[in-house]
């Protein structure tokens, strides 16, 4: 099957990368570097998609049977994924504001 801890780390690593890229994009937007911000958001989306793919793999493996153990590290990974998704949504909105102010 798969190593649960290693698989869960895929969520944590990719979600963390996505969140970091979002905040880097926001810093670029603050400086008026919108092309760079857009590139970073694209990278953030790719990292978020990778994290989501790992989550989907876990859901498919469990198939609603409860066979996947809900460990503290799994809950931690889900927290990372959700906060990175929220960060991306907010950063996209903030960058839009900076973009409109610069126009």
CB within 8 Å of 30: residues ≥ 6 apart: 98
Name residues of the chain where pLDDT drops below 70: 1-2
Domain 4-102 belongs to what topology?
A: Methane Monooxygenase Hydroxylase; Chain G, domain 1 (1.20.58)
pTM: 0.89
Q: Does the annotation place 39 within a ligand binding site?
A: no
**pLDDT value of position 4:** 83
φ/ψ region of 70 (left if φ > 0, alpha if ψ in -120 to 50, else beta) reads beta
Task: List the domain boundaries for the chain.
Answer: 4-102
Which residues have a catalytic role annotated? Answer: 76
Q: Provide, rounded to the nearest whole percent, the portion of the chain with pLDDT above 90.
A: 76
Distance CA 27, CA 34 (A): 10
**pLDDT value of position 2:** 67
């Amino acid at each position: 099957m798969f190593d649960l801890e290693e698989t869960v780390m895929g969520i944590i690593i990719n979600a963390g990368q996505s969140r970091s890229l979002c905040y880097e994009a926001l810093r670029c937007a603050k400086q008026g570097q919108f092309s760079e911000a857009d590139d970073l958001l694209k990278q953030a989306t790719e990292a978020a998609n990778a994290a989501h793919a790992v989550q989907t793999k876990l859901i498919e493996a469990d198939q609603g049977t409860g066979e996947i153990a809900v460990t503290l590290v799994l809950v931690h990974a889900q927290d990372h994924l959700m906060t990175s998704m929220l960060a991306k949504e907010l950063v996209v909105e903030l960058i839009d504001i900076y973009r409109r102010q610069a126009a």
